[in-house]
Structure 1
Amino acid sequence: AVINAADLRANNSTYSYNIMEQFVTHPFIAPYLEGGKVEEYSAHLVCEGGIRSVPRLSGDGYMIAGDSASLGFSNGLVIQGMNYAITSGIAAAEAAIEAKSKGNFSAASLHSYDEKLASNYVLEDMKNFKGIEGVTWSSLMHKAVPRIAEKVFFDMFYETGQPKRHLSEILLESAAGSGMSKSQLILEAYRA
C-alpha cells in the first residue's frame, strides 16, 4: 500500500499497522489469506521530494547514499529506492576505495562519488522525474485515468453479440465520463 504521510498525520488515529490489518481482514482479501501465517510486515517512509530534496552528497570525510540522500522515487503506484540505494552504495564504495588508496578523504577527493552518480542513471532519473509528485498524486492519475481505462477496456472486450464501436468513439465517451472536463483532462495531461 502507498499512503501519503500527510494523510496519516492529518488523521491522528491511523497507523500503518492498522491499515495493513484492515486490508488483510477485508472480506474480499481475507479468504485468500485464510490459513496463512503472518511472518512480518512493516512500513517505510519514502522520500518524495525528488531532486530538490537531494542534499550535498559528499564533503570532507563523508558521502551520503540511498534513503539518507533522498534517492527514492514514489509515484503513488510504484516505489523505487532499493535500486538507487544499491547503485549509490556501489559508487560510494568505489569512491572510498579510491580515496583510501590516495590517503585523502577531503571533499575534493570524495567528489568523485558525485561524479559517479552523475554518470549513472540515478541522478538522471531524479532529474527526469522532477515534479512528478504533482502528477502522480493528482485527480487525473487517481480518479480520471482509472475510470477512463476501465470504460475503454470494458467497451473493447465485453461481448454483446453486436459490432463494437470505433476506438475513437469509445475514448471520447470514456473521457466524458471520467469526472473531469475536457479542459481539465488536457491541462492535467499537459502537466504530466
Structure 2
Amino acid sequence: MSEEKFDVIVIGGGLAGLSAAYRLAKAEKEVLVIEKGPHCGSKNVSGGRLYTYALDALMGDEWKGKAPLEREITREMLMLMTDDEAMTIDTSVHAQHGQSYSVLRNHFDRWLADQCEELGAMVIGDSTVTDLIRRDGKVCGVVVGEEELEADLIIDAEGVNPLVAERSGVIAPIKLENIAVAAKYVIRLDEKVIRDRFGLEGDEGAAMLGMGSANKGIFGGLFLYTNKDSISIGLVQDSKTWKEHGEHLPTAIEDLKEHPVIGKYLEGGEVVEYTAHLIPEGGFDSFSEFCGDGILVAGDAAGLCMNRGFTVRGMDYAIMSGIAAAETAISALEEGIFTKDFLKSYESRLQKTVLEDFKTLRKGHGYMAGSNKLFTTYPKMAIDVMHSLYNVDGAPAEPVMTLLRRNLKGINLTGIAKDLLKGVRSL
C-alpha cells in the first residue's frame, strides 16, 4: 500500500474528471487524476460542441480569451437527406452570442488539465485503473498496475464504458439498447475555404445535424462542426438497431463523405484524424447508481449524454456533473463522512443542474428509436414536396394544396400527424 493518501482520486481525465479536479484543487484539496491516455484529451472523443454556460459555472470568466476554443457557433443547420439530395433548415443565431463553440478535445482537455495542475492537482497519464480497493465495504482507493493508491473518496469519470465501476458492482452493466456508436473524421481545410463554404466571417462557426440516408434509414444521424482549419464530421448510430440491420459503420461514413451535398463541404480536404466512440443515449430510464460508499460516478460513466435529434449534448453535462461531484466531495471531506447515504447529496446537486433535463425528455430516446419514419419517410417526403413547390416546367400552375396532395398520395396522414405529435411531446 502506498504511504501517500489523497483526499480524492479521479479516474479519467475527460471533462467530468477534470472539472471535478479543478474545483477540488481550487478548494485546496489533494486530488489525483489518473488518465489512461498519454495525456488528457488524447483518447477523448466528442462531436465537438461545447456550451459555455458550463464553463462559466466551472471557472467564471477565467476561461475567456484563454481556453483553446475553435469557432463560435453562429449558424445552425438541420439536414434531411436522401441518397443524392438534401433539404436544409438553416438558422443564424448571432443573437445568442457566445453560447457555444466547436472544440477539439485533444487541445481543450489538455489545456484544462494544465489549469488543474496550476492549482495543485496531480495529473498522471499512461496509467490505467484496474480495480477499486475496499475496506469494510467502503471504496478507499484504486489499483494501478501493481500499485495501490488510497483516498478518502473516489470519483469515477472513466467514460462511457466504466469497467472499473461495473466490475466492482458500483453500477449495473450498461445495456446495448442504451448505447450509440459513433465514427468521426477530422478533415483539414484552409480557414478561408471553410468560411466561404459555410458563409462565415472571422471566427464564426457552423453546426449541422442531419438524418435520413446518411444513417441508412436507421436511428441515428450525422454531425458536422467547423473548426478553425478543419471540419469534424461523423455518424452516430443506435447500437441495437445497427446490429439488427447488419450495417457496417465504416462503410456508412465513407458513403457520407461522398454524398453529393456533404461532399461539397469536404472537397479538397485532408483527413488528419479518424476516431470511434461509444455514447450513452438511454436517458433517464437507463441511469444506474450515481454513488456508493466512498465513490461518486460522473459524466459519461453515469450516462449523462442526450441526443434530441436537433442537438446533442454531453460535454456540458460532464462539466456540470464534475462540479456537483467536487462540491459533494468537499462537503464529505469537511464532515469526514463518506457513506452512500451522505453522498446521496450528489444526486440532489445533479437534479438542480442536469437531471431535470433528462426527466423532462425521458421519452425522447424511445421515440426516436421506435420511429423509423424519421430516418426514411419524412426526409424523402420533405424533399419531394420542395421539388414540387419550386418546379416550373411550363405546365399550368397548381395550388399548393393540390401539390401537397399529389406528393402525399398513399401516405397515412393521420399516422404521420400522430407520430409527429408524439415527437413534439417527447423531444
- TM-score, normalised relative to structure 1: 0.76
> Does 1:139 find its partner at 2:372?
yes
Q: 2:307, 2:299 → 1: CA distance?
A: 14
Which runs of no fewer than 5 residues in structure 2 stay unpaired?
1-234
> Does 1:189 find its partner at 2:420?
yes
CA 1:82–1:59 in 2, change beyond 3 Å: closer, same or farther?
A: same
Once the two structures are aligned, what percentage of the paired residues are identical? 33
Q: Check the 8 A contact 1:2/1:77 in 2, yes or no.
A: no
Q: 1:126, 1:56 → 2: CA distance?
A: 15
1:151-175 deviation digits (Å, cap 9, x = unpaired):
4544555667987735x6665555x
Partner SS, residue 46 of structure 1: strand
TM-aligned CA deviation for residue 186 of structure 1: 2.9
> Does 1:53 find its partner at 2:286?
yes
Structure with a larger share of its residues in helix = 1
Question: Which structure is higher in RCO with an 8 Å CA cutoff and minimum separation 6?
Answer: 2
Partner SS, residue 87 of structure 1: helix
Q: 1:143, 1:36 → 2: CA distance?
A: 29
AA aligned to 1:106 is T
The residue aligned with 1:36 is 269
Q: 2:403, 2:333 → 1: CA distance?
A: 63
**Bigger mean CA deviation after superposition, 140-149 or 153-162:** 153-162
Q: 1:145, 1:13 → 2: CA distance?
A: 21
1:55-108 deviation digits (Å, cap 9, x = unpaired):
121221111111111111224564321221111111111111221122222223
The residue aligned with 2:91 is none
CA 1:21–1:87 in 2, change beyond 3 Å: closer, same or farther?
A: same
CA 1:27–1:54 in 2, change beyond 3 Å: closer, same or farther?
A: closer
> Does 1:82 find its partner at 2:315?
yes
Match of 2:349 among 106, 110, 116: 116
Mapping of 1:65-104 within 5 angstroms?
65-75=298-308, 78-104=311-337
TM-aligned CA deviation for residue 115 of structure 1: 0.6
Partner SS, residue 135 of structure 1: helix
CA 1:67–1:170 in 2, change beyond 3 Å: closer, same or farther?
A: farther
Match of 1:3 among 226, 234, 237: 237
**Bigger mean CA deviation after superposition, 66-75 or 5-14:** 5-14
TM-aligned CA deviation for residue 53 of structure 1: 0.8
CA 1:102–1:164 in 2, change beyond 3 Å: closer, same or farther?
A: farther
> Does 1:165 find its partner at 2:165?
no
**Bigger mean CA deviation after superposition, 136-145 or 148-157:** 148-157
CA 1:126–1:170 in 2, change beyond 3 Å: closer, same or farther?
A: farther
Q: 1:128, 1:169 → 2: CA distance?
A: 39
TM-aligned CA deviation for residue 13 of structure 1: 7.7
CA 1:153–1:94 in 2, change beyond 3 Å: closer, same or farther?
A: farther
CA 1:87–1:18 in 2, change beyond 3 Å: closer, same or farther?
A: same
CA 1:34–1:139 in 2, change beyond 3 Å: closer, same or farther?
A: closer
AA aligned to 2:341 is A
Structure with a larger share of its residues in strand = 2
Q: Check the 8 A contact 1:75/1:132 in 2, yes or no.
A: yes
1:169-188 deviation digits (Å, cap 9, x = unpaired):
665555x24x6412321331
TM-aligned CA deviation for residue 32 of structure 1: 5.3
AA aligned to 1:96 is A
CA RMSD in angstroms comes to 3.1
1:10-69 deviation digits (Å, cap 9, x = unpaired):
46683x444333433x26356754543222121222223211111121221111111111
Q: Check the 8 A contact 1:54/1:69 in 2, yes or no.
A: yes
Partner SS, residue 42 of structure 1: strand
Q: 1:114, 1:55 → 2: CA distance?
A: 12
Q: Check the 8 A contact 1:155/1:170 in 2, yes or no.
A: yes
Partner SS, residue 414 of structure 2: helix
